[in-house]
């Protein structure tokens, strides 16, 4: 299993560590471990962790990684865990220059994990937590059987993206408002305060108490339309309201915790990969690279930065945007005066010699996520320079094609893809739909229809947790549509919105 660094690599690590500190990076302690390539594939299949709960999809992931490596299609260079201390892995067979690059890259990530606001609520002892999760699930496997547990995990994973992506991970249980209501209700049932015990029968006659009790009952009945407000955290709702067995609730809670742990990484992919790439590039080219390593470094670096026409490479977009911000703040290309300047030549030679770039990017890495990062810093000049475009599928030609290079559209499309991870926003609106304990979800439709076969399969899985019929209100071809699965069959009907 993982080995510690050789003295030679430890010396290199100390060197890179020194450079990173000197540039002002601020990170948790970072522990590097050496792994073989199949250990690397394993850890990658586990999402970066040395241990996860047992599930077949890690095996599927592993097979694909191993195959990609074998065929020379892909190779994982860096893996780092958001944890205190951070853990990162180095592949045994890599040349020294790659190891240095990876170390520099890793320190960039660790700085980001520690400082970006999105990670503030993540569990920094997640390695232990993951191991605990694995133990808990294994115990259930021993007790309940692997088939049943795995089947439940499959169905729950199907709902894994139904969390409130942007809420910090706080469990609102017990809900303080609920507790307060409970308290008030009790007061009312007890009636008015009685100073003298013998007066009780007069002040709070039993008819009065009865009527009060009934009132409270009625209120409770009415309040059975729950949740009170639409709830994005569908997993939490299920955890609290679905008739789950203890083992099912435990596993659901585990998967939800893990989903929340990974959410910020999804929200800061472009920033985080860009930041790490910016720093490996800076540290390597300004400090750590030996002359004889230049070619291999350039080969590796350009491999990471490669783009395909039909995708955004977060490493490339990220690093370029960080460099652009740094340059703009170095040269003072921001603010009112800059915005109002229409003279192209003046803009091109604009340099106020502010030198505030470095400071600015450190500030930005603290307070932004991908959406606000792109929204704030993606400029028309940048989009043009980077040759960004919107693409779409042309049904008539049965192929993908470039639709638009207009800045607004590019930016909107980019933001749309990042909102809620580019996944539909779905909420629980009623847990007692039509007063029959059915579940009603809505899809906040933003112009894109749900993928039909996936939606139906997902409903089926949802139903198996809720045990009663489940419904989702969405739109297809611009018409309100209610999809329903009642435990036996699917149905679909048009509804007015």
Partner 1 sequence: MTLKIHQDHSRFKQIVRGKIKANLRKYVQKGEMIGKKGKDAISIPIPFIDIPRFKYGHKEQGGVGQGEGEVGQQLGPGAVEPGEGKQAGQGEGDHALEVDVTLDELAQILGEELQLPNIERRQNERLISQKIRYTGINTTGPESLRHFKRTFKQALRRQIASGTYDPARPVIVPTREDRRYRSYKLQDLPETNAVIIYMMDVSGSMGDEQKEIVRIESFWLDTWLRHQYKGLEARYIIHDAVAREVDRDTFFHTRESGGTMISSAYKLCRDIILADYPKSAWNIYPFHFSDGDNWSADDTRQCIEMLRNDVLPNVNQFAYGQVESPYGSGQFIKDLREAVGDTPNVALSEIADKDAIYASIKDFLGKGR
> Which residues in the 381-410 window bind partner 1 by CB under 8 A?
386-394, 397, 399-405, 410
Q: Please state the closest distance from residue 389 (CB atom) to partner 1, in A.
A: 6
> What's the CA gap between 260 and 169, in Å, rounded?
6
Q: Quote the CA–CA distance of 491 and 497 in Å, as a whole number.
A: 18
In the complex, the smallest distance separating the C-beta of residue 100 from partner 1, rounded to whole angstroms, is 19
Q: Which is nearer to partner 1, 30 or 481 (CB)?
A: 481
Measured from the CB atom, the residue of 67 and 120 that comes closer to partner 1 is: 67
Shortest reach from residue 275's CB to partner 1, in Å: 19
Q: Are 232 and 427 in contact (CB under 8 A)?
A: yes
| Matching residue, tokens 């490596």 | 69
User: What whole-number distance in Å separates Cα of residue 111 and Cα of residue 480?
Assistant: 47
Nearer to partner 1, 200 or 286 (CB): 286
Span 70-99, contacts to partner 1 by CB under 8 A: none
How many residues lie near partner 1 (CB under 8 A)? 77
Binding partner 1 by CB under 8 A: which of 19, 280, 316, 331? 316
The structure tokens listed for 74 are: 């892909």
| Comparison of 290 and 366: residue with beta carbon closer to partner 1 | 290
Q: Which x/- pattern, by CB under 8 A, does the window 415-434 give for partner 1?
A: --x----xxx-x--------
Interacting residues of 306 by C-beta distance below 8 A, sequence separation 6+: 313, 316
| Helix (H) or strand (E) run with residue 196 in it | none
The verdict on 323 binding partner 1 (CB under 8 A) reads no
CA nearest neighbour of 458 among 163, 243, 241, 157: 157
Q: Is 90 buried (19+), middle (13-18) or exposed (0-12) by CB count in 10 A?
A: buried
* Of the candidate residues 223, 230, 294, 497, the single one contacting partner 1 (CB under 8 A): 294
Least separation in angstroms between residue 240's CB and partner 1 is 21
Between 195 and 309, name the residue whose CB sits nearer to partner 1.
Answer: 309
Of 431, 422, 418, 496, the C-alpha closest to 468 is 431
Among 45, 102, 149, 289, binds partner 1 (CB under 8 A): 45
The CB-of-291 to partner 1 minimum distance in angstroms stands at 9
Say which residue the tokens 């009527």 belong to: 211
Contact range with partner 1 by CB under 8 A, out of 20-28, 166-174, 177-185, 302-310: 302-310
For residues 449 to 488, the per-residue mask of contacts with partner 1, x marking binding by CB under 8 A and - elsewhere, is xxx-xxx-xx--x----------x----------------
Helix/strand/coil (H, E, C) string of 161-194? CCCCCCCCCCCCCCCHHHHHHHHHHHHHHHCCCC
CB of 144 to partner 1, least distance (A): 16
Give the Cα separation of 157 and 276 in Å (integer).
30
Residue list 14-43, contact with partner 1 (CB under 8 A): 36, 38-39, 41-42
Which SS3 state, helix, strand or coil, does residue 405 take? coil
Task: Fill in the per-residue mask, 343 to 382: x = in contact with partner 1 (CB under 8 A), - = not in contact.
Answer: ----------------------------------------
Contact indicator for 277, 105 with CB cutoff of 8 Å = yes
- Name the segment binding partner 1 (CB under 8 A); options: 249-257, 307-315, 354-362, 487-495: 307-315
**Residue list 206-265, contact with partner 1 (CB under 8 A):** none
Nearer to partner 1, 79 or 426 (CB): 426
Residue 18: both structure tokens together: 């020194």
34 vs 103, which CB is nearer to partner 1?
A: 34
| Contact between 122 and 424 (Cβ < 8 Å) | no
DSSP-assigned beta bridge partners for residue 90? 34
H or E stretch covering 281: helix 269-283
| Residue in 312, 354, 356, 482 binding partner 1, rule: CB under 8 A | 312
CB of 17 to partner 1, least distance (A): 29
- φ, ψ at 159 (rounded to 5°): -110, 5
* Strands laid side by side in the 479-485 sheet: 425-433, 438-444, 470-476, 479-485, 490-494
Among the listed residues 86, 90, 414, 465, the single contact to partner 1 using CB under 8 A: 414
Looking at the Cβ atoms of 272 and 461, the one nearer to partner 1 is: 461
Q: 357 with 415: CB under 8 angstroms?
A: no
**Sign, CA torsion 234/235/236/239:** positive
Nearest approach in angstroms of CB 222 to partner 1 is 30
Radius of gyration over alpha carbons of the chain, in Å?
28
DSSP single-letter state for residue 250: H
| Residue numbers 152-211 binding partner 1 by CB under 8 A | 154, 157-162
Q: Which is nearer to partner 1, 181 or 404 (CB)?
A: 404
Residues of span 47-66 touching partner 1 by CB under 8 A: 51, 54-60, 62-64
- The Cα-based distances of 234 to 156, 231, 238, 469 in angstroms read 11, 6, 6, 16
């Amino acid at each position: 299993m993982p080995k510690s660094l050789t003295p030679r690599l430890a010396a290199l690590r100390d060197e890179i560590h020194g450079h990173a500190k000197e540039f002002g990076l601020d990170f948790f302690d970072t522990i590097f471990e050496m792994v073989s390539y199949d250990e690397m594939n394993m850890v990658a299949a586990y999402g970066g962790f040395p241990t996860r709960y047992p599930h077949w999809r890690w095996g599927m992931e592993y097979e694909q990684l191993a195959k990609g490596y074998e065929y020379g299609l892909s190779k994982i260079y860096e893996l780092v865990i958001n944890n205190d201390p951070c853990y990162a892995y180095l592949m045994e067979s890599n040349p020294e220059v790659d190891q240095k690059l990876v170390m520099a890259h890793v320190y960039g990530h660790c700085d980001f994990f520690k400082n970006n606001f999105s990670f503030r609520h993540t569990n920094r002892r997640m390695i232990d937590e993951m191991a605990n999760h694995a133990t808990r699930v294994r115990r259930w496997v021993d007790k309940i059987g692997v088939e049943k547990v795995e089947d439940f995990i499959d169905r729950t994973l199907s709902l894994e993206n139904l969390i409130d992506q942007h809420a910090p991970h706080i469990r609102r249980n017990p809900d303080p408002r609920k507790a307060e209501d409970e308290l008030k209700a009790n007061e009312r049932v007890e009636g008015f305060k009685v100073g003298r015990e013998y007066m009780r029968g007069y002040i709070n006659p039993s008819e009065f108490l009865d009527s009060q009790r009934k009132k409270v009952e009625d209120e409770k009945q009415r309040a059975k339309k729950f949740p009170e407000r639409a709830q994005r955290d569908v997993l939490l709702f299920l955890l609290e309201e679905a008739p789950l067995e203890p083992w099912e609730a435990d596993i659901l809670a585990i998967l939800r915790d893990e989903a929340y742990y990974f959410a910020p990484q999804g929200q800061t992919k472009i920033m985080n990969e860009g930041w790490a790439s910016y720093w490996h590039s800076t540290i390597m080219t300004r400090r750590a690279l030996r002359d004889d390593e230049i070619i291999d470094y350039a080969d590796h670096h350009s491999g990471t930065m490669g783009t395909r026409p039909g995708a955004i490479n977060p490493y490339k977009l990220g690093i370029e945007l960080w460099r652009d911000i740094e340059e703009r703040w170095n040269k003072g290309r921001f603010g009112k005066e800059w915005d109002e300047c229409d003279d192209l030549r003046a803009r091109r030679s604009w340099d106020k010699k502010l030198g505030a770039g470095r400071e600015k990017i450190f500030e930005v890495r603290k307070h932004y996520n991908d959406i606000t990062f792109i929204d704030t810093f993606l400029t028309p000049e940048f989009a043009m320079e980077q040759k960004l475009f919107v693409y779409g599928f042309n049904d008539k030609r049965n192929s993908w094609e470039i639709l638009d290079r207009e800045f607004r559209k590019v930016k909107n499309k980019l933001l749309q893809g990042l909102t809620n991870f580019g996944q539909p926003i779905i909420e629980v609106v009623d847990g007692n739909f039509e007063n029959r304990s059915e579940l009603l979800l809505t899809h906040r439709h933003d112009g894109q229809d749900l993928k039909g076969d996936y939606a139906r399969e997902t409903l089926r899985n949802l139903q198996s947790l809720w045990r009663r019929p489940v419904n989702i209100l969405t739109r297809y071809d611009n018409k309100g549509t209610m999809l329903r699965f009642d435990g036996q069959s699917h149905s679909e009907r048009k509804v007015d919105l």
